[in-house]
Structure 1
């Protein structure tokens, strides 16, 4: 048993006193720990491994392992150490114990990530929360954090690694089932070593597709090692992780926090840059790019696409002297920036100037940019209305709609259904508290005539569905009290003509069920009969006003547009 002793320093009357808090005990070897998730105010599990001779004062490398679909954190920890199931042993049986394996001088963490939801959105936040938990509890070497995973977790490894390339020293996806969001991020791997493992006869993740990913990454300058196992099916992890292979591959690979060149692409402020480059203004939902490279001491060349402002934090970079001027050439335009560590640039009238962009109070920014799915990636609550209800039966119907939205179950064709471990609150409008209004995102169902929370903020919201016939559905997100609200009026936003899965021809991650249907939607959507039958959809402008080209479509279809948002 290893003990970490926490020391708290307290200043009393000008004197410094040190007192020991309650010691935290961490068992060496495999175990299960938890972290607190604000998404639904829950404790979430993750599997953890500490080396046999664990020393709390020593800095350790961290390996984060992501499990596949229909799996869990306990199995993932076994897999990364090369332990597959015994002959005839089911996953349920294998999850009940940790076998003996060879010790490694790594801390290893395997998030549960809510089951089978992929690794974009809520599970993505859980992965980063586990990393922060490990940083808090242990002495983690920031230049030796690694990410790996299999199948769904292999796709998550590429997505999380490429969206945050400066967090990790290297990543190692195994038979990666990719989310579509990965394909915009390929160029971000310039400074991120990647090892990809694939079965040559995999019927689930076809090797032809994985080879194309390898070729594209290599064409962009990424250092990629590719290992394909002839005749091996989807269980290529048995080969990839055998005999501690993955730890041997990670050995000696360290993150370079100051590469000479940084290339980064993103659609969102949530992923606002990497290494010494930060994107300060873009158009959320539109892919923005920056390519910044030192060409000499204190000389940087920058090329941009769909970008309005950025900054460079060069403290510690070996090719930068803070006492000298910085020459920056941006899209062919040369600027000279004053001495110092931080250098900011923005566009004005189509020209770049050396000046920092400061977002206005009601402009899109990190945490308040949309799209609709963003609302569920932090603390959120589902609110149904009780105004003007014709008795308790109608209230119950409204409640059931909100409960369905809060159900994050996922389905794989007609044969497999799994409940998720996302459990947000579902409450009536009269139960909403001050804390909910100011510390939570809210998904509000109904209209200002049926939901008192909507009625209270009616003058501040941009859209109200006035035509309450049975064929229209309106859903949009909007900032309120420093958080986001989603308004869902008329037909629920998950109603889709694609709900019939009887054919079993495609695997669907619950895309038409409840709040999971928000994934892939923009800031607003007005539809008739089905969310496939779009009347108008799009993004709000940077100041959260509506684009002029959508106003007539809203007003001619029974939606009242607040004049402050025209």
Structure 2
């Protein structure tokens, strides 16, 4: 979920008034009495929350000014800024945590040279006070700053300091109601620019957030000077300073009092990257650790060596690791090393140290799998041949000699959908939980914004397997947690792999269509058919929750979350507590979609649990076969498609098993030795029928497979998006005798490639049909663009497929759809390889091929677009306002357990009479069909959402759309008001009002219909 949507709001307290009737002479109303609400909050003297909502302006040169939007700030603030120069816009900013970073994230070098730039950044916030009166502004900043309260300058600090929250405590007098706090910071050339602010009651004793705040002081190249704390604390526990070279060698160690400057002679040290480890103990004798970067020598020369090594690296996983680090270094230095200042080296320290450690490992040393080590696990994902990365953080006393617990943490949705090097925290080398809780922590990338479904699920489990292979992991102490999209991922992965995890903690993530959409009450119509209902069921985070019978859960959510409605977590907690499951629910009043500060407490809770590896009872609920497995039972096949699978199994006594199930045709039991009869006998009572297997000592199979040899099974059951969870290749048909068909196939292949790259930032594996070999057919699922008339591979296997397309229409399992200019998408087990699919795109004509839209995954949000095995599309377009754009499909359906489609219950077709009244789109021609006046009529500015303006203009004979911050898109005319995007073919329909003027446009994007309002001309 988008972090920019985080809002903190106060919880409303209701007042209950009572009246009393007194005496015989009449009634008398008593004074109002105030009661706390039934769900009262814990009492506190005053809030100690940090301010996270800000308006930011700048940076601006000191001689310039900032004009203040009067709707955003009080007029008194304008007196602080002279009104002589062009304005700088105030931008809203919500900090994810208690610390606000004024720089972009991740930080990058800017071309200001080595000296501090005389520029200012302004931050403003409104702080409310119920009663007004004395308070303290508690401020931390690593930059010089000045602060005004309600227009009055109250404090100035001239020096830069190592950042520490609550560093400055400033007595103030708050007014009742809203109070304007305005800060002005000197901006530095590189690195973070952090600050924190909170208003606390006078004299508050605040919990120390950072035990020590160390810093590296400027010094000659052969000297390292470390200030152990920003102030002297002689009575506190001393600080131990260790200097650690790449690979983990401790080259120096000293102790010092807090606040003391510890100096090291670095003359004999080799040039390169170092970490300075500062450790101490808090008042509770708990070890606290901080790390600082340091570099001896010329870091820019090292960056050049990294880039040279990456350029010369082989085309494999180690080579991709070097290329990723080189891309990271160039990105942080603004893209050009020669223009970066020497003081920019902290931005690339992590990349340089990782580079050195990879070089040491190439020489045969163990450089990363060490105490406090950082290992970026890299592996090739066969899905598309790309190298994927997973970060692993090792505890301070890690040793391969004993097993360690492991916590998997899942990241949230990144709305920028950036390339890997621009994801949050990817250069972070140490993790506080790993350092303080004696546990390994891994952070899978999950293929980015993929919702931890399909390839996202696959990536997480691959990362976990790699961690178990590389490190010594206690398999009974593996845990899972995540926030936002990662919270949804925690539900999705834990419920599909319950036997892997000892405990899980979803944090403000997870949703169910029965409650609402993600952020509020649902406006979608209720499902009309069982297929519609099942499609919604597959999208629920809690669809498989019954499988968590033996997995303790800790659910955490803020009740003011605007991005993921708290009702989802409340629903899940109530439902599972109703079942008697081990569920704890922590709801945080007033907290929004932000860092809730619970990671440490969650880790403590998780680490108290051990996995139950061989439970006597098992429950399974699943919407597919891949998720219908847990511990010692696995469903092999179902009875009816598009229906939930349910299993309740219990070992009543050793060797006696009762299984009750719904929609299960066949299953497998692999009973642990502890649950078997000592004499080797096994008796199974399945839905009231007794079974005594002939060979009870091994894996037991019950039930019958589908009537034919071909049957759906886990990993080979569809629907259409399932092809992306297997290694696949797009095969472009080239053998059509019709040139226009060949052109349309290539155009659709190119569009598909662009969509994949925009989502995964990886090239799409693609080849021509004439290039496909027998090895390719065995290794990959084949996405075949073109039917038997247009694709040589489709032609070879056509007789083994239950569907086809011709000029006369489309046939699916013997049922004919007499359509024109239409296209079929269908998935089916590959006749050429086991465990692989063929995904056929076959059209009745070249114009029909134009209407092919991959029904796979939403390439912005990452969720599957359909639950069907086959879809027929054409150019009929339902009128604007149609609730479900997918209703435009000619027909959709799912195959049964035998990969057949004979039952109408699993087919959904549109009404031909209704569809005949819809507009019929035509594939655009090279000559074009719109008049010049029609092209000019659509030019203008269109608002997709508040502040998101798309400019449409006519450039010669082309119509182009320029979205905010994106690349220009060409719109191809299909008529005077109907256009399509050149890159994807998705339609854009301009709407005229009663006067005949263009009032807006309906934009179809990956199954969603968006309205763009036309703005009046200036």
Instruction: Give 1:302-321 correspondences, 5 Å limit.
Output: 302-317=659-674, 319-321=675-677
Cα pair distance change 1:134/1:2, threshold 3 Å = farther
1:208 corresponding residue in structure 2: 567
Pairwise CA distance, 1:291: 0.5
Cα pair distance change 1:294/1:148, threshold 3 Å = same
Cα pair distance change 1:239/1:543, threshold 3 Å = same
2:872 maps to 1:526: yes
CA distance in 2, matches of 1:171, 1:551: 36
1:399 corresponding residue in structure 2: 746
Cα pair distance change 1:51/1:383, threshold 3 Å = same
Cα pair distance change 1:178/1:110, threshold 3 Å = farther
Pairwise CA distance, 1:485: 0.5
Pairwise CA distance, 1:117: 1.9
The correspondence for 1:473, drawn from 812, 823, 827, is 823
1:153 corresponding residue in structure 2: 486
1:563 corresponding residue in structure 2: none
Cα pair distance change 1:24/1:470, threshold 3 Å = farther
The correspondence for 1:441, drawn from 781, 797, 806, is 781
CA distance in 2, matches of 1:358, 1:536: 25
CA distance in 2, matches of 1:542, 1:93: 43
2:841 corresponding residue in structure 1: 488
Secondary structure at the aligned position of 1:148 is classed as: strand
Q: Deviations over 1:97-131 (max 9, x none)?
A: 44673433211111112221211111111111101
1:7 corresponding residue in structure 2: none
CA distance in 1, matches of 2:792, 2:711: 27
Instruction: Give 1:15-414 correspondences, 5 Å limit.
Output: 25-27=367-369, 28-70=372-414, 95-98=426-429, 101=432, 102-178=435-511, 180-235=539-594, 237-241=595-599, 244-283=600-639, 284-317=641-674, 319-337=675-693, 340-342=696-698, 344=700, 346-347=702-703, 361-388=709-736, 395-408=742-755
Cα pair distance change 1:441/1:24, threshold 3 Å = farther
Cα pair distance change 1:167/1:92, threshold 3 Å = closer
Larger RCO: 1 or 2 (CA < 8 Å, sep 6+) = 1
Pairwise CA distance, 1:519: 3.5
Pairwise CA distance, 1:261: 0.7
Corresponding pairs, count? 494
Pairwise CA distance, 1:403: 2.8
1:562 corresponding residue in structure 2: none
The correspondence for 1:539, drawn from 880, 886, 894, is 894
Return the TM-score normalized by structure 2: 0.45
Q: Deviations over 1:231-282 (max 9, x none)?
A: 11101x33221xx223211112111111121011223332341111122232
The answer as to whether partners of 2:486 and 2:506 remain within 8 angstroms in 1 is yes
Secondary structure at the aligned position of 1:62 is classed as: strand
284-293 or 56-65: bigger deviation: 284-293
Q: Which one has the largest radius of gyration?
A: 2
Pairwise CA distance, 1:140: 1.6
Secondary structure at the aligned position of 1:70 is classed as: coil
Return the TM-score normalized by structure 1: 0.78
Secondary structure at the aligned position of 2:438 is classed as: coil
Cα pair distance change 1:311/1:31, threshold 3 Å = closer
Cα pair distance change 1:512/1:38, threshold 3 Å = closer
30-39 or 221-230: bigger deviation: 30-39
Instruction: Report the aligned-residue RMSD.
Output: 3.6
Q: Deviations over 1:336-378 (max 9, x none)?
A: 4567334635347xxxxxxxx6996522223322221111112
Q: Which runs of 5+ in 1 are unaligned?
A: 4-20, 77-90, 349-356, 411-417, 500-508, 558-566
CA distance in 1, matches of 2:453, 2:707: 27
Secondary structure at the aligned position of 1:166 is classed as: helix
CA distance in 1, matches of 2:895, 2:718: 9
Q: Which runs of 5+ in 2 are unaligned?
A: 1-246, 250-362, 513-538, 810-818, 877-885, 913-1018
2:955 corresponding residue in structure 1: none
The answer as to whether partners of 2:496 and 2:628 remain within 8 angstroms in 1 is no
Q: Deviations over 1:415-445 (max 9, x none)?
A: xxx6423533122212223222111001111
Cα pair distance change 1:435/1:527, threshold 3 Å = same
Secondary structure at the aligned position of 2:665 is classed as: strand
Pairwise CA distance, 1:37: 0.5
CA distance in 2, matches of 1:465, 1:287: 32
CA distance in 1, matches of 2:780, 2:841: 17
The answer as to whether partners of 1:161 and 1:171 remain within 8 angstroms in 2 is yes
Cα pair distance change 1:100/1:146, threshold 3 Å = closer
CA distance in 2, matches of 1:345, 1:208: 42
Cα pair distance change 1:129/1:61, threshold 3 Å = same
CA distance in 1, matches of 2:367, 2:734: 49
Secondary structure at the aligned position of 1:210 is classed as: helix
Pairwise CA distance, 1:23: 5.7
The answer as to whether partners of 1:312 and 1:343 remain within 8 angstroms in 2 is yes
CA distance in 1, matches of 2:596, 2:829: 47
CA distance in 1, matches of 2:468, 2:558: 34
CA distance in 2, matches of 1:528, 1:44: 37
Q: Deviations over 1:483-509 (max 9, x none)?
A: 20001123469868xx9xxxxxxxxx9
Pairwise CA distance, 1:543: 2.8
Cα pair distance change 1:280/1:94, threshold 3 Å = closer
CA distance in 1, matches of 2:417, 2:428: 12
Q: Deviations over 1:292-326 (max 9, x none)?
A: 11223433222111112223222232x43241433
Pairwise CA distance, 1:541: 3.1
CA distance in 1, matches of 2:428, 2:860: 35
Cα pair distance change 1:332/1:208, threshold 3 Å = same
Cα pair distance change 1:408/1:188, threshold 3 Å = farther
CA distance in 2, matches of 1:536, 1:210: 36
CA distance in 2, matches of 1:383, 1:420: 19
Cα pair distance change 1:2/1:276, threshold 3 Å = farther
CA distance in 1, matches of 2:590, 2:561: 8
162-171 or 471-480: bigger deviation: 471-480
The answer as to whether partners of 1:494 and 1:513 remain within 8 angstroms in 2 is no
Pairwise CA distance, 1:68: 0.4
Pairwise CA distance, 1:476: 0.6
1:560 corresponding residue in structure 2: none
540-549 or 376-385: bigger deviation: 540-549
CA distance in 2, matches of 1:287, 1:551: 14
CA distance in 2, matches of 1:301, 1:493: 54
